[in-house]
Structure 1
Amino acid sequence: MKVVPQAFYQHPKIENILVDGLSCVILKKVEHSDLQNQRYVAAHALTIVLNGALQIETPEGEISIINKNQIILLPKGLYMISDIIPKNESFEAVVFFFDKEICDEFLAGFDLYALENLPKTLIFNYDQNLRLFTDTLITLYRGKSLYQFTKPKLLELLHLISLSEKGDQFIGKLQCLKKRGKKNIKLFMEENFDKPLDIEDYAYLTGRSISTFRRDFKSKFDISPKKWLIKKRLKKASFLLKEKSDSVTSIALQVGYENTSHFIKAFHKEFHISPKQFQINHRKDMLI
């Protein structure tokens, strides 16, 4: 699983127009589909498809297709995302990621909108005003590292969308995201402990503040979330090292460790042996 926008910052086919932490504007152009299409979107995103199409699948199994010259609001969360690339062409998109601070500042200027009858997925057209804004932004800031303009330009975009045909729905959806319902913490954690997420991410995804998440987690598991995650991830790692010939780096990624050195250190602390030696010893036992 890849965490975005962070994974985009070092991607050779993705151009960073403006970047400030998790808030950014990126330009994506790829000729080949990424087979690893599970994503954790770490900040709300607006994706404009310039060429090709985009398929989004939510954890609930709802699938949306976003075609050329359409925009989708993708709330922070887990998704299966696939670029649909036309034959002998490329997939092209502009993606605007905006963090909680920007979202809260934008919403502070609006009264509470009616939250009933909102679409589950908000898709709207890339109209002339949004096209002019995007083209001008890319022309002005491309290759110039003027990242201090990230927040004001994203706020300008959000206000521009609020004036569009589906502006009320857009504002309503963002307001609705601030009132997420709680998910079953035990079920969610058992299904997602091996994702490269931190405590703040798990708290958000289960519809809780960090303090409430820690309290509810301790109530369910009788252990802190950090200690539980380490034990669950390392237990799965030990199983994979016994059953597979994958590299230590690959195993680390499969259990939620993006940093192999951190994984090796945690594994050694738990089992008093390096993961590589653990794998070698098990193979020897199988041959005896």
Structure 2
Amino acid sequence: MADLKSNTHKSPIAYSCYFTRNREGEQFAPEHVFSYQISGTLTINNGEQEYVFKPGDYRFTRRNQLLKFIKQPPSDGVFKSVSVYLDQETLRSFAMEHGYQADHAHSLEAGSVIALKGGGLVKGFMDSLMPYCEDDQLIDVDLQALKLREAIMILLRSSPAMKDILFDFSEPGKIDLEAFMNKNFHFNVQMNRFAYLTGRSLATFKRDFEHIFHTSPSRWLQQRRLQEAHYLIKEKGRAASEVYLEIGFEDLSHFSFAFKKMFGVPPSRLAS
């Protein structure tokens, strides 16, 4: 079993350390994240594009993104990364104090994850976090605030255009619901999250959804995920154990039961 060490403790500075095996999962990124890949490989997929980060790489993950990831330790080694979460309150305060304002709004579709250049400032900042991360220490509130502001300043120094992302405080606008759901059906998130990302209240999301798809969101999601699974197993030769998480199911036995109910045969028989 993988050994996990993290100093999150509700801290905006997080250290991840995984041993022995790959770890796959998905997440919703509610805040911007500034990260450094120390060892191992991280693969991120937003449903349309795949990003791969190797040791020594720096990245910036934009807020309000649905992402799948694979954390792969090196052979006989350890996966390590450190991340700084930039919350909206800190960014608003920084923008007001220094007179920053976004000139251009960035849509949900543009650049989920941005590869950043390194350099002495960036490396020095990330190195300064390691004594706290590696000893799993909780950084006190005042020092956290200083480190967050330092991270913002370094990002702006490294790429002045980042201000249009960092200081864009707009919420997701109302977008094409059908296109969004067909792209993101395989993400296993709550309905209110889908509603938020499409710029709707939950009630409006459900009403618009049923108007477009003529069924409930939960029923459509299960059917769409099972259809995708059928394609991957029958046409691509994938195993059920490989695809059930990928297409949005949490449990293999529940997936197999739902698959058999919809198609009349268990996924194992379809594969054979």
TM-score by length of 2: 0.64
Counterpart of 1:131 (choices 123, 127, 132) is 127
Instruction: Give, as a single letter, the amino acid of the residue that structure 2 aligns with 1:107.
Output: L
Q: Partner of 1:75 in structure 2?
A: 62
Matches within 5 A, 1:1-288: 12-20=2-10, 25-28=14-17, 34=22, 39-44=26-31, 45-51=33-39, 59=47, 61=49, 68=56, 70-76=57-63, 77-79=65-67, 92-96=80-84, 98=85, 103-109=87-93, 110-111=95-96, 113-116=101-104, 120=111, 121=114, 123-125=116-118, 126-132=122-128, 134-138=129-133, 141-142=136-137, 155-164=145-154, 166=156, 169-170=161-162, 172-176=164-168, 178-180=170-172, 182-206=174-198, 208=200, 210-234=202-226, 236=228, 246=239, 252-260=244-252, 262-263=254-255, 267=258, 271=261, 278-279=265-266
Which AA in structure 2 matches 1:214? K
Q: CA deviation at 1:85?
A: 7.8
Q: Measure the CA separation in 2 of the matches of 1:254 and 1:115.
A: 37
Q: Classify the secondary structure of the residue corresponding to 2:6.
A: strand
Q: Quote the offset at 1:186 in angstroms.
A: 1.0
Q: SS state of the match for residue 93, structure 1?
A: strand
Change (3 A) 1:13 1:153: farther
- Structure 2 counterpart SS, 1:176: coil
SS in 2 for 1:25: strand
Structure 1 residue identity aligned to 2:82: V
Distance, in Å, in 2 between the alignment partners of 1:90 and 1:159 is 30
Report the Cα distance in structure 1 between the residues aligned to 2:210 and 2:224, rounded to whole angstroms.
15
Question: In 2, distance between residues paired with 1:50 and 1:241?
Answer: 36
CA distance in 1 between counterparts of 2:245 and 2:42 reads 26
Residues 138-163 of structure 1: per-residue CA shift (max 9 Å, x gap): 25534xxx5xx698766543222123
**One-letter amino acid matched to 1:95:** S
SS at match of 2:167: helix
8 Å Cα contact 2:43-2:50 kept in structure 1: no
The one-letter amino acid paired with 1:164 is I
Q: Sequence identity, in percent?
A: 20
Residue pair 2:44, 2:67 contacting (<8 A) in 1 also: yes
User: Is the CA contact (8 Å cut-off) linking 1:46 and 1:74 kept in structure 2?
Assistant: yes
Instruction: Give the TM-score, by structure 1 length.
Output: 0.61
Taking structure 1 as reference, are residues 155 and 91 closer, same or farther at Cα in structure 2, changes over 3 Å only? Answer: same
Unaligned residue ranges in structure 2 (runs of 5+): none
Within 2, Cα distance between the matches of 1:186 and 1:231? Answer: 15
What root-mean-square deviation, in Å, do the aligned CA atoms of Structure 1 and Structure 2 show? Answer: 4.8
Contact 1:15 1:27 in 2 (8 A): yes
Q: Give, in angstroms, the shift of residue 74 of structure 1.
A: 0.8
**Structure 1 residues 53 and 219: CA distance shift in structure 2, 3 A:** same
Does structure 2 conserve the Cα–Cα contact (< 8 Å) formed by 1:130 and 1:160?
A: no
Residue 130 of structure 1: how far off its partner (Å):
4.3
Distance in 2, matches of 1:241 and 1:61, equals: 22
